[in-house]
Amino acid sequence: MNDLLDAQPTQFDQQFRQTLFQCTRGQPFFTVELLRHLPLEATRLQETTVYWFSDQQNLPASIQGMIAQRIQQLPAALREILMIASLAGEIFTVEAVALVQGVAAGWLLSCLSHALDRQYHLISAQDCQWVGQQRLTQYRFQQPLVQQYLYYSLDEVERQYWHEELGNALEELYGEQRHQVAAQIVGHFSSARRPEKAALYLPLLEHPTPTLQNLLLSEMPPMPLVARFPLHSTLSGPVTKVGKC
């Protein structure tokens, strides 16, 4: 990828190169097409490039067409798995997706490992951890652009619905250890337009931004401030060490 960038008339800095690699994982076709469609102003103001790359509307039709063709080749059941997983981000938790779909985690794991990983090469195993007595398995999209495409292929109503379901699933899976995924839960409930549920987890965030707090407050129905942000979280308790499988 660096050889390709060095051959361009524009001198790309290291931040630009890292952002491009994060988006494409060095995949030649994706890299060439993104560079070919990159606006001139984005090459001049390289600090704004990350926003251009992350905007689904800027994804070239050639890339969208290639991804769409691959996704359409999948059986419907596998497409639905990936659609829901895409709402968790580049990395997703198998057991959370299984809860949302109402299927056995073992069955879903088999679909991910044998079909979507080894056969279609769309995802790959990331990690396996224990939270208390609960085993949690994570997979990663091999291409962030595929995850992005799947996410925005859902309409706004669908995204809100599945975000809330995934937030509920993480609450159930982590139980008293929900503080470990507080940021993810806040993200899901915020995207689901459930600010009153997201606000419960703000005290558990290490560095909640003022923008996020103001956004949640602006969307919440009128209620006492103490009710919005409890002084003492009901999730405080002994921390169970997360162990590897």
pLDDT digits (tens, 9 = 90+) for 145-160: 899 899 999 999 999 9
Per-residue confidence (pLDDT) for residue 60, from 0 to 100: 74
Does 233 fall in a domain?
Answer: no
Q: Which of 132, 151, 170 is the last residue of a domain?
A: 151
Backbone Cα Rg of the chain: 20
Domain that includes residue 30, residue range: 2-58
The tokens for 81 are 């798995």
Clarify whether residues 76 and 146 are in a common domain: yes
- Considering its fold, how many domains does the chain have in total? 3
Clarify whether residues 144 and 75 are in a common domain: yes
Q: Is the pLDDT of residue 228 over 50?
A: no
Write the burial class of residue 192 (CB in 10 Å: 0-12 exposed, 13-18 middle, 19+ buried).
buried
pLDDT-derived band of residue 8, with 50, 70 and 90 as boundaries?
A: low
Clarify whether residues 31 and 74 are in a common domain: no
**Percentage of residues in the chain with pLDDT exceeding 90?**
46
Per-residue confidence (pLDDT) for residue 89, from 0 to 100: 92
Per-residue confidence (pLDDT) for residue 106, from 0 to 100: 95
pLDDT-derived band of residue 26, with 50, 70 and 90 as boundaries?
A: low
Clarify whether residues 137 and 169 are in a common domain: no
Q: Measure the CA–CA gap between 29 and 62, rounded to whole angstroms.
A: 9
Q: Is the pLDDT of residue 91 over 90?
A: yes
Q: Answer with the residue of higher pLDDT: 48 or 58.
A: 58
With b for 16 or more beta-carbon neighbours within 10 A and e for fewer, the 75-97 pattern comes to: eeebeebbbbbbbbebebbbbbb
Q: Is the pLDDT of residue 233 over 50?
A: no
CATH number, domain containing residue 73 = 1.10.10
Q: Measure the CA–CA gap between 170 and 178, rounded to whole angstroms.
A: 7
Beta pairing class for 134-141 and 91-93: antiparallel
Does 64 fall in a domain?
Answer: no
Q: Answer with the residue of higher pLDDT: 49 or 114.
A: 114
